[in-house]
Structure 1
Amino acid sequence: MTYIDQPFVLKNMTLKNRIVMAPMCQYAVEDNDGIPNDWHHIHYTSRAIGGTALIIVEMTNVEPRGRITNRCLGLWSDDHIPAFRRIVDAAHKQGAKIGIQIAHAGRKATDAPDAVSSSAISVTHDETSPKPHALSTEEVEATVEKFKDAINRAVKCGFDCIEIHGAHGYLIHQFHSPNINQRDDQYGLDLALFGEQIVQAARSVMPVEMPLLFRISAVEYMENGYTLEHSLAISKRYYEAGVDCFHVSTGGEGPVSVVQPGHHAAYQVPYARAFKAAFPNIPIIAVGKLEQPEIAESVLANQDADLIAIGRGMLNDPYWALHAMKQVTGHIDAPTSYIRGM
């Protein structure tokens, strides 16, 4: 028996195999408006043609100053909905499911003149670097509403699932990280509160059976960064608030002050395995250098994770899923137009 080609059911979403396209920023918006264009349409549709079961659209931001760059996607206006809906419809025609990652870059918004964060601490922790504006309590509450509004729009676009980005040093991570969050209000005294409220807000506008994913950095690599125990405790709150699946990554919080593990194949899988042990009732997505098909298959066969996410491997090969399943299983279910070439 092989695993990579097996269907998988998450609430009302049935995936035709276990392969997920990880969200990867394209920096391809042309008019500083956050609206996807032909590049995004071709980029995502080609991976759907290429056999991917679940495509997760790149980090899409809840307000203009929440973007990493001015060339990043947004969903802060109803004007964004038609272009996203076009991508969703195209993916569905190819038999793929498609989700979207909703986020706010916080202090990592490099083009924003007024970057914000949980506290006024720069990414570099350098006194000479620009410091973000520490959101007031009222501004934090307003940001939760912005997440809610963006997720409501994502539902209207027809996405099959939503992923909240709480990893890689972006705004939610900035709140649940003890090193970055030095507030003295309720959002500092309770590090999980901001993310928890966003999960609750998401659930309030999502259909009951629509899956809610959450991407988390299991550990930080900064000096005195949080450990697996911290991320599991925070994630328990997010799970209880309504998360249906964790997408487990690491790092990305700021200047690296400790030695990272080598970026060898499957280097993040031990963290996915730990999350699977801690949350046995929900699916776990593993990610990080899994583009060798036999390694991806082994992660699934060894039950280290339920789904595998491929990032750079799919930048290299839009048809990675078809090629990987052929290599692992010995057969391929390619589109009729491509069969004679595969």
Structure 2
Amino acid sequence: MVTSVAPRVESLASSGIQAIPKEYVRPQEELASIGNIFDEEKKDEGPQVPTIDLKEIDSEDPVVREKCREELKNAATDWGVMHLVNHGIPDELIERVKKAGETFFELPLEEKEKYANDQAAGKIQGYGSKLANNASGQLEWEDYFFHLIFPEEKRDLSIWPKTPADYTVATSEYARLLRSLATKIMSVLSIGLGLEEGRLEKEVGGIEELLLQMKINYYPKCPQPELALGVEAHTDISALTFILHNMVPGLQLFYEGKWVTAKCVPNSIIMHIGDTIEILSNGKYKSILHRGLVNKEKVRISWAVFCEPPKEKIVLKPLPETVSETEPPLFPPRTFQQHIQHKLFRKAQQSLLSKEG
């Protein structure tokens, strides 16, 4: 059997095609909701993704500290996604991380192919394009680079880009600081559930076992953006996801029955609550359905870091403190691996019973 290798979307985009291949065209029922992302981002009416200022998250003043933590908890409860500002990670470091990723994707295709992954052989780290194993059987308009960035002893630096030279240094430092931010966020979310502050972190594997996986998503210009998606509608399986982007809009959230476009907030990190924390909190914190749009005019790049529990060591289920007679468990016990399999299996049905229907 010949392994199907997805074409690089960058090659398609730069080939001068006027129409996208049919395997990138979204199903009819989705197309009605895909608009021009630049027009969508300008809209000020309707709900907006909350911006949470973390400046006072550890304030000495208990009233000020509580107000900040309450806002974070409320955003996690209502939206499950937010822009974090004053997050404590230097802007200069974030610019270096972004510059390093952009420089890698500017390399000639044959250089990038040296880092190609091989999903069929189970080698998932490296440079790749999405294979058609998703709900619709369609392809997404993106290439990517995927690798584990923390804990440091679990990294495989041999597959990290050698060009630019700053890639490993900047990404490693960013991973270290992001890991500390994840601890801080999980502490606040634990307290918000009435638990001791270290509880959620412990439940997702703690400092030794929680994995930080980075996926740099590269969305080339698309000649027919009204027909395609950069990434189809999904919820994240992670505990938390942190996202940087190159200030080109694209992220949409499915909130109160409508697609809401996230604004580009300078010096912010977008954070999603993932399925793992939704399960542990028994649905009190939300893992929101989201997708990515593409456009004709600008390349969009995003840097997503997924904080994931170990695949087999932990059974994910609603914590006993979140369950009562009036609030029975909403999720059956599963390992993280079983949850991934469950979602892959469910995707086929979900595409038939679309949440937009």
Instruction: Give me the TM-score of the superposition, normalised by structure 2.
Output: 0.27
Query: Higher relative contact order at CA 8 Å, sep ≥6: structure 1 or structure 2?
Result: 2
Instruction: Give me the TM-score of the superposition, normalised by structure 1.
Output: 0.28
